[in-house]
Copies of this chain bind each other. A is one copy, B any other.
Amino acid sequence: MAKNRQSRDKEATQKKILQAFGRLVARDGLHRVGINAVAREAGVDKVLVYRYFGGVPQLLSALASQHPLWPSFEEVIGTNALGAADLSAEEIAFRFLTGLVRELRRRPLSLAVLRAELVEKNPLTIELSRAREKWAEDMLEYLESAGVPADSIAPVAAILSAGLLHLLLNPSLSDAFGGVDLKSDDGWKKMEEVVRRIVRALIRDIS
């Protein structure tokens, strides 16, 4: 016969399940992915999903343990906190905002988590929010230790990063405003220039 239905390979099956879960979450969003859908997508009986993982939350944390949801300071800024100390405040702010976008853009799972947090309030999303907030605090601490006066710019950073995040989550929004296509790399390049302008103006204003 062409192929055994039962491959009897635990590790391979687990991998199939995890990959299917990741695909589905990236495509449909966290809030509409359930055990049934995962099992279907993986071509596997749902009992196996329960056996090997336990449930959707465990699937997510298994995936997150392979590829962390949130980028590190180094990934975002392009250098560690020590190296960042040599940069100007403007440069750090610019790199922070654009780096954030760059890193999140290659993490569809993280974007799905952000969307889910906006829309669903359950033990899983609450836990996820907590983790993300802790990460944001850490980022801010790093910024401070790199010499950025956090007190004065924290709320500004909140608005700007929230804005970029929102455009990231909802590309259609920007069409109406800027006519910039944020689904394309070129669109984001242009958006980076805008960020540069904003940051420059704000920093000049403070000092």
**A interface vs B, CB < 8 Å?**
29, 31, 115-120, 129, 133-134, 136-137, 140, 154-167, 169-170, 172-180, 190-191, 194-195, 197-198, 200-202, 204-205
Name the residue of chain B whose CB is nearest to the CB of A195.
B159
Contacts of A194 in B (CB 8 A): 155-156, 159
Rounded to whole angstroms, the CA-CA distance of A201 and B204 in the bound complex is 8
B159 x A167 contact (CB < 8 A): yes
Number of copies: 2
B205 x A172 contact (CB < 8 A): no
Contacts of A166 in B (CB 8 A): 162-163, 165-166
State whether A167 and B177 are in contact (beta carbons under 8 Å apart), knowing that A31-B119, A119-B118, A205-B197 are contacts in the complex. Answer: no
A179 x B154 contact (CB < 8 A): yes
A174 x B200 contact (CB < 8 A): no
CB < 8 Å: which of B158, B170, B175 contacts A173? B158
Rounded to whole angstroms, the CA-CA distance of A31 and B164 in the bound complex is 24
A170 x B205 contact (CB < 8 A): no
Contacts beyond the supplied A140-B177, A158-B174, A205-B205: 10 A-B pairs with Cβ under 8 Å: A134-B176, A136-B173, A137-B176, A155-B180, A156-B198, A158-B173, A162-B167, A200-B205, A201-B202, A201-B204
Contacts of A159 in B (CB 8 A): 160, 163-164, 167, 191, 194-195, 198
| Distance of A118 from chain B, by nearest CB (Å) | 5
| Distance of A130 from chain B, by nearest CB (Å) | 9
